[in-house]
């Protein structure tokens, strides 16, 4: 534990050497002045106070000199404390900020499959409490390093003063270190367990809050509260265990220097009687032991926090060392090309990684081959689990195929730069995600060149300009966390407008209009297919269910069990493929039944939007 902890601290020093040097310089200055103050106090007592008592009078000049010396040392100690604390705090917070950025950047680099294997609460804990824990010992570290220098100087001064008193110091200081080592060994497993439980509590809380709708509608409030309380109770017990151990060792760490001071007085009195030392020497050494008690604790603070630091660092490093990122290439498609892009799948196979490494992955796609020609609309149709959403993810390179290639304008998407891929293709996912920000910010996303005119044009194409114009502050309206002030259909149309505002040359719609009225959906898709009428110059790949939507496509790809079973126009497949006809008919019947009852997901907006009822055009 000591070796691993010092390794973490060594990394911190290598990353912030200048700030660490400033903090240690302040600490060394403080430590040197502590030793100096002990000998000044000894000199004041032995050379000023004792003679004054013997004479029955006080020398004003000597007293003023002593006071000046003590005052000057105190001022310089304040300077040392300021430098030490400022440097240590600055170093600690810089490291925490830097590693929060590294962890977050790593999250964005890792593929979706990695995120799917890790709970959101754990990831939040990695970026927050684990990073804090990893660098927590940085605050007392410069003090501890300065204390080591101070101890070496103190022991050297003890030997200069008297060998017997020096032996007392040599007995006390190793005992302090030994006690700290025992403390660290016992604390390590407790701190590691507490850090793990922090992540689990965070995960349960996030899951419960994120799934509040399910919890409430299923009447699971009591059970979720009990589940959270049980894990929070475990964390409480773990932290109490940490506190109890600290409560046992802290008094011992406090007592040892006091026992050292008592031993110095006993041995020093004996040596004084022998004439080996003077009163000045005895007072100086006794005072030195007294003032060393607090700085020596700094070493204990560092050693005590090493187990927590190692536990936090191990969890942070697990993220930073995770493999599976998808590096981008160096090929750039012509940014001036505004014509629709061509998307091609060639013998694509894909299998999701298993939750456990020793288990085989489940194949999702096999030998999928099709093309979305420039300017054309292709619909993906198939039963649940046939691989439609996976194809949508592959098209914009959220994941990479295990076999075969996915290409844009003849270039493998793995060879494209991140900027070129993002500027060419846009995905509108099944579940709309809206930031807790204004309508304008949600659509523009601070992308250069996206003006308010572009935002309104995108809103018109997404059939969203009407309800946005009716909002209290228009584009400046705050939509709430995840768009809670909007209905499901409104959120879907905002996310569609967000994609359109970037003027993509390929638009991938993964059931992106499922929560809007079929007539509105048809109007949206008709507008997207008609550039002359204001739609984008884009090819469209759409995961579709409704007959009216599918009928707008130039070609339909019918999937079953991750393979292309048939392709053609809607009319051709309806007449020749029984599975396709049954599926489309079933969807149509479900839509018809759904229109007879209130829709659970959309069309009536929440109370926070002023009881607004959507009127679809």
Task: Please write the tens of the pLDDT for every residue from 504-530.
Answer: 889 898 877 766 666 777 777 777 766
209 has pLDDT over 80: no
Looking at 33-42, 557-566, 575-584, which range is the least confident one?
33-42
Looking at 30-39, 50-59, 382-391, 586-595, which range is the least confident one?
586-595
535 has pLDDT over 60: no
506 vs 288, residue with greater confidence: 506
Q: Which residues pair with 349 in a beta bridge?
A: 403
Whether residue 555 sits in one domain with residue 512 = yes
Confidence of residue 129 (pLDDT cuts 50, 70, 90): confident
From first CA to last CA, the distance across the chain in angstroms is 68
Confidence of residue 170 (pLDDT cuts 50, 70, 90): confident
614 has pLDDT over 60: no
Whether residue 367 sits in one domain with residue 321 = no
Confidence of residue 591 (pLDDT cuts 50, 70, 90): low
C-alpha distances in angstroms, 357 versus 244, 361, 366?
Answer: 39, 9, 22
Confidence of residue 204 (pLDDT cuts 50, 70, 90): confident
| C-alpha to C-alpha distance for 158 and 265, rounded to whole angstroms | 14
Q: Which pLDDT value is given to residue 589?
A: 66
Within-domain flag for 3: yes
Confidence of residue 406 (pLDDT cuts 50, 70, 90): very high
Assign residue 23 the CATH number of its domain. 1.20.1560.10
Confidence of residue 490 (pLDDT cuts 50, 70, 90): confident
Whether residue 303 sits in one domain with residue 154 = yes
Secondary structure E strands in 313-402: 343-352, 362-372, 377-381
Q: Which pLDDT value is given to residue 218?
A: 66
Whether residue 438 sits in one domain with residue 547 = yes
Q: Which pLDDT value is given to residue 592?
A: 59
432: left (phi over 0), alpha (psi -120 to 50) or beta: beta
Looking at residues 229-247, what average pLDDT do you find?
A: 85
HSE (CB half, 13 Å, CA atoms) of 192? 14
Confidence of residue 145 (pLDDT cuts 50, 70, 90): confident
Contacts 24+ apart (CB under 8 A), 325-329: 325/106, 325/109, 325/110, 325/111, 326/109, 326/111, 326/397, 326/399, 326/400, 326/414, 328/414, 328/416, 328/417, 328/418, 328/421, 329/412, 329/414, 329/415, 329/416, 329/417
200 has pLDDT over 70: yes
| C-alpha to C-alpha distance for 479 and 485, rounded to whole angstroms | 5
Cβ-proximal residues to 453 (8 Å cutoff; 6+ apart), any chain: none
Q: Which pLDDT value is given to residue 616?
A: 36
CA 176 from centroid of its chain's CA atoms: 38
Q: Which pLDDT value is given to residue 292?
A: 66
271 vs 172, residue with greater confidence: 271
Assign residue 447 the CATH number of its domain. 3.40.50.300
Looking at 49-63, 198-212, 237-251, 502-516, which range is the least confident one?
49-63
Cβ-proximal residues to 484 (8 Å cutoff; 6+ apart), any chain: 606, 608
65 has pLDDT over 60: yes
| C-alpha to C-alpha distance for 135 and 121, rounded to whole angstroms | 21
| C-alpha to C-alpha distance for 568 and 576, rounded to whole angstroms | 10
Cβ-proximal residues to 88 (8 Å cutoff; 6+ apart), any chain: 23, 138, 139, 140, 141, 142, 143
- How is residue 9 written in tokens? 């601290």
Q: Which pLDDT value is given to residue 225?
A: 82
Whether residue 109 sits in one domain with residue 168 = no
Q: Which pLDDT value is given to residue 519?
A: 72
Query: Structural domain tally of the chain?
Result: 3
Q: Token match 């500027």: residue?
A: 423
pLDDT digits (tens, 9 = 90+) for 437-463: 888 888 888 888 788 888 898 888 888
431 has pLDDT over 90: no
Residue 518 · residue 484 · CB < 8 Å: no
574 vs 482, residue with greater confidence: 574
24 vs 277, residue with greater confidence: 24
Looking at residues 341-368, what average pLDDT do you find?
A: 77
| C-alpha to C-alpha distance for 84 and 101, rounded to whole angstroms | 26
SS (H, E, C) 476-523: HCECCHHHCCCCHHHHHHHHHHHHHHCCCCEEEEECCCCCCCHHHHHH
Looking at 252-261, 571-580, 593-602, which range is the least confident one?
593-602
Within-domain flag for 285: no
Whether residue 22 sits in one domain with residue 52 = yes
357 has pLDDT over 60: no
2 has pLDDT over 80: no
Whether residue 145 sits in one domain with residue 14 = yes
Within-domain flag for 15: yes
Q: Which pLDDT value is given to residue 136?
A: 85
Q: Which pLDDT value is given to residue 361?
A: 56
Confidence of residue 598 (pLDDT cuts 50, 70, 90): very low
Residue 2 · residue 188 · CB < 8 Å: no
Within-domain flag for 336: no
Query: 76: exposed, middle or buried (C-beta count within 10 Å: 0-12, 13-18, 19+)?
Result: middle
181 has pLDDT over 50: yes
Confidence of residue 95 (pLDDT cuts 50, 70, 90): very high
Whether residue 118 sits in one domain with residue 175 = no
Confidence of residue 310 (pLDDT cuts 50, 70, 90): confident
280 has pLDDT over 90: no
Strand order in the sheet with 343-352: 362-372, 343-352, 403-408, 411-412
Within-domain flag for 281: no
Give the whole-number percent of the chain exceeding pLDDT 70. 84
Within-domain flag for 69: yes
Q: Which pLDDT value is given to residue 610?
A: 35
Whether residue 408 sits in one domain with residue 272 = no
DSSP β-ladder status, 343-352 and 362-372 = antiparallel
Within-domain flag for 471: yes
236 has pLDDT over 80: yes
Q: Which pLDDT value is given to residue 473?
A: 85
What residue numbers bound the domain in which 144 lies? 1-161+297-325
- How is residue 90 written in tokens? 């600055």
203 vs 493, residue with greater confidence: 493
Mean pLDDT of the chain: 79
Whether residue 188 sits in one domain with residue 151 = no
Strand order in the sheet with 563-568: 425-428, 506-510, 539-543, 377-381, 555-560, 563-568
157 has pLDDT over 70: yes
Whether residue 387 sits in one domain with residue 486 = yes
| C-alpha to C-alpha distance for 340 and 519, rounded to whole angstroms | 26
Whether residue 584 sits in one domain with residue 530 = yes
Mutual angle of helices 17-43 and 2-15, in 10-degree steps: 110
Coil, helix or strand for 403? strand
Within-domain flag for 614: no
């Amino acid at each position: 534990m000591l070796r691993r902890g010092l390794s973490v601290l060594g990394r911190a020093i290598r990353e912030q050497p200048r700030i660490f040097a400033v903090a240690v310089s302040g600490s060394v200055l403080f430590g040197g002045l502590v030793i100096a103050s002990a000998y000044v106090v000894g000199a004041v007592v032995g050379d000023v106070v004792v003679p004054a008592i013997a004479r029955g009078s006080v020398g004003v000049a000597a007293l003023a000199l002593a006071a000046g010396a003590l005052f000057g040392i105190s001022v310089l100690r304040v300077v040392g404390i300021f430098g030490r604390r400022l440097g240590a705090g600055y170093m600690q917070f810089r490291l925490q900020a830097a590693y929060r950025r590294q962890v977050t950047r790593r999250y964005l680099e890792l593929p979706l499959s990695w995120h799917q294997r890790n709970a959101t609460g754990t990831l939040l804990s990695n970026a927050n409490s684990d990073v804090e824990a990893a660098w927590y010992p940085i605050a007392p570290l410069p003090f501890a390093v300065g204390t080591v220098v101070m101890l070496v100087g103190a022991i050297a001064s003890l030997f200069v003063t008297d060998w017997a008193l020096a032996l007392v110091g040599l007995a006390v200081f190793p005992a302090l270190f030994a006690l700290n080592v025992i403390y660290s060994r016992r604390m390590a497993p407790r701190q590691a367990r507490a850090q793990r439980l922090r992540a689990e509590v965070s995960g349960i809380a996030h899951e419960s809050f994120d799934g509040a709708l399910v919890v409430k509608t299923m009447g699971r409030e009591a059970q979720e509260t009990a589940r959270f309380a049980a894990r929070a109770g475990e964390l409480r017990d773990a932290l109490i265990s940490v506190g109890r151990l600290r409560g046992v060792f802290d008094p011992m760490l406090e007592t040892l220097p006091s026992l050292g001071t008592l031993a110095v007085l006993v041995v020093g009195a004996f040596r004084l009687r022998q004439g080996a030392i003077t009163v000045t020497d005895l007072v100086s050494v006794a005072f030195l032991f007294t003032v060393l008690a607090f700085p020596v604790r700094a070493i204990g603070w560092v050693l005590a926090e090493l187990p927590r630091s190692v536990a936090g660092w191990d969890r942070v490093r697990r993220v930073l060392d995770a493999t599976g990122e998808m590096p981008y290439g160096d090929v750039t498609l012509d940014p001036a090309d505004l014509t629709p892009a061509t998307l091609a799948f060639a013998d694509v196979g894909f299998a999701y990684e298993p939750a456990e490494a020793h288990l085989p992955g489940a194949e999702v796609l096999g030998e999928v081959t099709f093309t979305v020609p420039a300017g054309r609309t292709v619909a993906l149709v198939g039963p649940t689990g046939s691989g439609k959403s996976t194809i949508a993810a592959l098209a914009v390179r959220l994941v990479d195929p295990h076999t075969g290639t996915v290409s844009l304008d003849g270039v493998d998407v793995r060879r494209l730069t991140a900027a070129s891929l993002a500027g060419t293709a846009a995905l509108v996912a099944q579940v709309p995600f809206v930031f807790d920000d204004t309508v304008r910010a949600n659509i523009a996303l601070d992308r250069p060149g996206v003006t308010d005119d572009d935002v309104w044009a995108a809103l018109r194409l997404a059939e969203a300009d009407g309800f946005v114009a009716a909002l209290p502050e228009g584009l400046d309206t705050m939509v709430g966390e995840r768009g809670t002030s909007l209905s499901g259909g409104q959120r879907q149309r905002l996310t569609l407008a967000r994609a359109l505002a970037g003027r993509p040359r390929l638009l991938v719609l993964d059931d992106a209009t499922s929560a809007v009225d079929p007539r509105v959906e048809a109007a949206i898709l008709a507008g997207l297919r008609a550039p002359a009428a204001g739609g984008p110059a884009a090819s469209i790949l759409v995961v579709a269910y409704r007959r009216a939507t599918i009928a707008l496509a130039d070609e339909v790809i019918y999937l079953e069990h991750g393979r292309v079973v048939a392709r053609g126009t809607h009319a051709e497949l309806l007449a020749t493929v029984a599975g396709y006809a049954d599926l489309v008919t079933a969807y149509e019947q479900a839509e018809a039944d759904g229109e007879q009852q209130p829709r659970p997901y959309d069309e009536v907006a929440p109370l926070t939007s002023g009881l607004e009822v959507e009127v679809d055009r």
